[in-house]
Amino acid sequence: MRPREEIRKAVVDRCVELGWMGVQEAGHGTIVVERPSDPAHGDWATPAALALARSLRRPPLEIAGELAQGLDLDSDRYSQVSVAGPGFINVRLSDTYLRATIARILADPAAYARTSRLAGRRLNVEFVSSNPTGPLHVGHARNAALGDAIAALLESQGADVKREYYFNDAGRQMDVLGASVHARYRQQWEPEFPFPEEAYQGEYIRDLAAGFTEEAGERCRGRPLEECLTEIRRFASERISAGIRADLQRFRVGFDVWFNESTLYEDGRLEGAIADLRAAGAAYESAGATWFR
């Protein structure tokens, strides 16, 4: 049994021993065991006396003292049980237990803290999912580390976890990306060609324009945006997505699923889902938009 559960059980058993009715019927879940805000107070603490004060009509500090005196805790695992105002019971783990725990971790690091409590659960963790409109930055790296850690923790508890990256490669932001690259592309021959105010900034847009020139040559030279938008947008999205994958691989964060939002439009799934919602009366049209009921 882990320290949190063991301390909780010891407190409940002590309440039963003292004849404090209600605690045993309510079960262990009514007793909170948490980490103290100040490590100097110990490794674990419970405000159980504060919770019991109203029903027992006694001072919390007095209740805490009576609880602490008879807690049945293994002396090899716990070195100290103390009471602090206004009614906390603080518990400190023994050096013997801590040394044994460290030895157990070193002997088999991969097995430590693993359980099967989530066995049979299938979970999807979607994280990072930066739009393919530019390279990853430090904030995305933080999300990558955090998301991968969460997925690993869930796996350590027995869950079947899928890591998903959702490429939001549909919508207005992709048109803005295409227009940005198109402008830099045109500027290779027309230096005064206007760069849109809302365009994406950064040297990577020039790099994309140069890359598109290598692939398409002068096919779009002098041509308006609407004639080249689809081709340029596809090229830029694919090039940025490839860079994102490479960066994450170097960061040692892998994904099981790479999903492109654009596929929802290409195969008609989105329109089909909306049609089904309308047919079921779960969606309606108003003010030029589709609304859920």
Segment 3-10 shows an average pLDDT of 87
First-to-last CA distance in the chain?
49
> At 238, is the pLDDT very low, low, confident or very high (cuts 50, 70, 90)?
very high
Segment 256-265 shows an average pLDDT of 93
Segment 114-135 shows an average pLDDT of 95
Q: For the chain, what percent of residues have pLDDT higher than 70?
A: 97
Please tell me whether residues 70 and 133 are part of one structural domain: no
Within 10 A of 193 (CB to CB), how many other CB atoms are there? 14
Please tell me whether residues 117 and 256 are part of one structural domain: yes
The neighbouring-strand residues paired with 285 are 290
Q: Provide the H-helix boundaries in 47-137.
A: 48-56, 60-69, 95-107
Please tell me whether residues 265 and 254 are part of one structural domain: no
Please tell me whether residues 146 and 225 are part of one structural domain: yes
- 50 falls within a domain: yes
Predicted local confidence at residue 26, as pLDDT: 46
Number of domains in the chain: 3
- 121 falls within a domain: yes
Q: Compute the chain's Rg from CA coordinates.
A: 30
Predicted local confidence at residue 22, as pLDDT: 60
- 106 falls within a domain: no
Please tell me whether residues 118 and 220 are part of one structural domain: yes
Please tell me whether residues 240 and 273 are part of one structural domain: no
Nearest in space to 16 (alpha carbons), one of 62, 70, 90: 70
- 79 falls within a domain: yes
pLDDT tens, residue by residue, 10-39: 888 888 888 875 654 444 457 889 999 888
Predicted local confidence at residue 152, as pLDDT: 96
Write out the residue range of the structural domain in which residue 214 sits: 113-260
pLDDT above 90 for 158:
yes
Predicted local confidence at residue 129, as pLDDT: 96
CATH number at residue 32: 3.30.1360.70
Place of tokens 């971790």: 105
- 102 falls within a domain: no
Please tell me whether residues 186 and 143 are part of one structural domain: yes
Segment 95-104 shows an average pLDDT of 92
Please tell me whether residues 74 and 45 are part of one structural domain: yes
Predicted local confidence at residue 31, as pLDDT: 83
Please tell me whether residues 171 and 284 are part of one structural domain: no
Please tell me whether residues 12 and 91 are part of one structural domain: yes
Predicted local confidence at residue 92, as pLDDT: 92
Higher pLDDT, 29 or 122: 122
Please tell me whether residues 256 and 288 are part of one structural domain: no
pLDDT above 60 for 41:
yes
Domain final residue, candidates 97, 132, 161: 97
Q: Mean pLDDT over all residues of the chain?
A: 91
Is this prediction's pTM over 0.85?
no
pLDDT above 70 for 194:
yes
